[in-house]
Amino acid sequence: MGPQARTCHLLFLLLHAVTKPGELVENSDFHLAGDYLLGGLFSLHANVKSISHLSYLQVPKCKEYDMKVLGYNLMQAMRFAVEEINNCSALLPGVLLGYEMVDVCYHSNNVQPGLYFLAQDDDFLPILQDYSHYMPHVVAVIGPDNSESAITVSNLLSHFLIPQITYSAISDKLRDKKRFPAMLRTVPSATHHIEAMVQLMLHFHWNWIVVLASNDDYGRENGQLLSQRLVNTGDICIAFQEVLPIPEPSQGMRPEEQSQLDSILDKLHRTTARVVVVFSPELALRNFFLEVLRWNFTGLVWIASESWAIDPVLHNLTELRHTGTFLGITIQRVSIPGFSEFRVRHTKVEHPVANKTNPRATCNQECDACLNITESFNNILMLSGERVVYSVYSAVYAVAHALHRFLSCNQIRCTKETVNPWKLLRELRQVNFTLLGNQLFFDQNGDMPMILDIIQWQWDLSQNPFQSIASYSPTHQRMSFIANVSWHTPNNTIPMSMCSKSCQPGQSKKPVGLNPCCFECMDCPPGTYLNRSADEFNCLPCPASTWSHKNGITCFKRRQAFLEWHEASTIMVAILAALGFFSTLAVLLIFWRHFQTPMVRSAGGPMCFLMLVPLLLAFGMVPVYVGPPTVFTCLCRQAFFTICFSICLACITVRSFQIVCVFKIARRLPRAYGFWVRYRGPYVFVVFITAIKAVLVAANMLTTTINPIGRTDPDDPNIMILSCHPNYRNGLLLNTSMDLLLSVAGFSFAYMGKELPTNYNEAKFITLSMTFSFTSSTSLCTFMSIYDGVLVTVMDLLVTVLNFLAISLGYFGPKCYMILFYPERNTPAYFNSMIQGYTMRKN
């Protein structure tokens, strides 16, 4: 047996087992005779738990269960729509729509009404190979209300492709048109409800929520959808998720359910989350909220799923207002003129409809208390307006429009063909009509893009108890807020529901536990910054040459420190340098003027100029120490001055050597002396020394760098000290050791010539100058090793200038003095006499 055949067999058995004609009530709310019948499935009662019994084969009796107040309201909406369509001549002229309604009591009584609709008028469901021409009792079915029943009924009806339009079953499963080919609905799917909820929470910055879901398909499915949606984005975290017990129909809570509720409420009492999302059929919630009242909660925000968002019975627990704010997701409000009166209209005794089809009846087509109870809630129903009612209303109109197309109706008449439901289904998918200002059609998934509303519960008797505060459009997936929420908090502040308060700018998050919403805020230390869009959890170090304060969100450029002209120390050193420059220039001029005099010749003759020119250049180059360092100035600082200094030292050394040793060499090693003179030994020596020095300096530069670098001021990180590479001072030791060798040589020659006449004797000067030079160099090195600021540059400059001054003034100064003020001593005769005196003393 194939599945199709098996189903038929089952149907046949069931049909004969359960169908039993009830008493015929001509003018019941549940029937209307007509040319074409619509089936209507509503929950007037509800057995949320749906206990199935196995001991007897009887259709459940819905009236034994709790009343579901809104069910009758929806049923009336269908009756109203059909009556309106019949009254209005334009849509289906000359055609009467009829209906058959059955109470499905939530999901206890689905199969029997399904079979009832499928069977022919004589309650017979034939076993056929081909049902293409089969005419069931109804052409389309409206309902039922919840997804579980809708799926059950659809499993029956879809075999016959009977169009089924549900008005409040939101399950995403129903989108699957392979499984439910004949299922359409006038309500957005659960995904949109969840999305609206999430956008609501995001709008109010709630990211720490509690989810309570009933222990049935509705609760489980939607709870899971919500947690999946939240996991995907990660903006909102669930503090805890609990399952609400569903009580037995018409009974109090059992002890284990009581303790389960108690533990949930205890958890709710202790959590810091203030927002509670509740997915549950409304009948399971009355006990829950009575418990909530017992626990004296305050300041919570309840978010109601569509199942209970506009339930007047729960709303009548007016004490709930003290527990906090109630928000809910539901269908938009569309007012249907005339419906309020119709809702509580008592059916007239006489039936105006011609008996075109045999009226029949089945069980569960009664609700004696419905009208009276609906009347008792009439005030709140009237104030709250039509929401889900509009879904039912538009479902009926969709069928009417499909019939209109199928029967090729014009203004006056329709062709009254037989309507095969599967053909009607094709028309139904195509309908596109305007109803009370809304453009209605079914999308690919068979859903009507109805707008969702976020509502707030209000207990002010004159107002709409379910005030819209925002609306959500499924097509655009966007929320727009239309009114302010009144929060019932001091100063009407928006309640906070966050695991951790959001961090201040510049504070990084340190996760606590596994939830991304729970964290500690850590200050970013100076020198680091936080870029929220890139990484909320780590402070990033500032790039070089920038800095940040504590809790920085950006790095700023550090103030650059270098030697500047307007500083006192610079001015002082500049004055010294200028003094050196001009005195050296003066010496140069004087020596030039008196070039042929013995004083100049004894001081080195042309070699004096070899010393004076570098000296002059060195003084002239002092400005390279001032201003931000560049490659050029660093090159000068690291190479030029030291080479100048070495040239001077070399000249002095070679000059001392000449004075003291030349005669001895000439006497003892005449050949060597010949070479020395012929090849201009002094100059070769100076060039040689300079070359060695240049190689040393170049090697030093290659190992370090001549690019200026920036370092953090140890005292103030906001300041960056720009300087040449400080490592060149390590090379300074090498430099210095060579200078030291030179000066030791110069000093020994000078010492050897200490008995020479004073005008040849330089020992005192060289000792002084060299001692100064080395003490200053070593103290500079020491200073640099302990201090790092701009002062180092000043010291460097000062030492350089003083060294050159020592040579310039110390060496040349006395000679100039003699040349200018004792010209009588600057004669060959005087020099000869001095030398003669010296030679005589020696002998």
Q: Which residues bind ligand NAG (CB under 6 A)?
A: 80, 83-84, 87, 295-296, 316, 338, 342, 355, 368-369, 372, 376-377, 432, 439, 441, 481-484, 490-491, 531, 533-534, 554
Could you tell me if 466 and 455 are in contact, meaning their C-beta atoms sit under 8 angstroms apart?
A: yes
Residue 538: φ, ψ to 5° = -130, 140
Give the nearest distance from C-beta 264 to ligand NAG in angstroms: 14
370 vs 806, which CB is nearer to ligand NAG? 370
> Kind and range of the H or E element at 452?
strand 452-457
Could you tell me if 102 and 145 are in contact, meaning their C-beta atoms sit under 8 angstroms apart?
A: no
End-to-end CA separation in angstroms for the chain: 148
Per the listing, tokens 């057995």 go with: 47
CA dihedral angle for residue 287, residue 291, residue 296, residue 301, rounded to 10 degrees: -50
Beta strands in 113-233 (DSSP E): 140-142, 164-166, 183-185, 208-214
163 vs 681, which CB is nearer to ligand NAG? 163
Give the nearest distance from C-beta 207 to ligand NAG in angstroms: 22
Strand partners of residue 325? 301
Q: How far is CA 542 from CA 90, 438, 714, in A?
A: 75, 57, 17
Give the nearest distance from C-beta 61 to ligand NAG in angstroms: 16
297 vs 581, which CB is nearer to ligand NAG? 297
Q: How far apart are CA 658 and CA 664, in angstroms?
A: 10
Give the nearest distance from C-beta 298 to ligand NAG in angstroms: 10
408 vs 531, which CB is nearer to ligand NAG? 531
Q: How far is CA 402 from CA 137, 156, 367, 398, 565, in A?
A: 18, 22, 31, 6, 93
Give the nearest distance from C-beta 149 to ligand NAG in angstroms: 26
Give the nearest distance from C-beta 84 to ligand NAG in angstroms: 4
Give the nearest distance from C-beta 231 to ligand NAG in angstroms: 24
Give the nearest distance from C-beta 224 to ligand NAG in angstroms: 31
Nearest to 300 by CA among 271, 329, 280, 279: 271
Residue 571: φ, ψ to 5° = -60, -40
Nearest to 739 by CA among 814, 838, 648: 648
Give the nearest distance from C-beta 339 to ligand NAG in angstroms: 8
**CB neighbours of residue 25 within 10 Å:** 14
Q: How far apart are CA 23 and CA 46, in angstroms?
A: 23
33 vs 616, which CB is nearer to ligand NAG? 33
12 vs 204, which CB is nearer to ligand NAG? 204
Angle between helices 728-752 and 763-786 (to 10 degrees): 160
64 vs 567, which CB is nearer to ligand NAG? 64
461 vs 744, which CB is nearer to ligand NAG? 461
- What does the block give as tokens for 354? 């011609």
Residue 283: φ, ψ to 5° = -70, -25
Give the nearest distance from C-beta 801 to ligand NAG in angstroms: 45
Could you tell me if 500 and 520 are in contact, meaning their C-beta atoms sit under 8 angstroms apart?
A: yes
82 vs 414, which CB is nearer to ligand NAG? 82
Give the nearest distance from C-beta 524 to ligand NAG in angstroms: 13
Which are the contacts of 555, defined by CB distance < 8 A and separation ≥ 6? 529, 542, 543, 546, 547, 548
55 vs 87, which CB is nearer to ligand NAG? 87
Give the nearest distance from C-beta 432 to ligand NAG in angstroms: 4
342 vs 683, which CB is nearer to ligand NAG? 342
> Kind and range of the H or E element at 258?
helix 255-270
455 vs 652, which CB is nearer to ligand NAG? 455
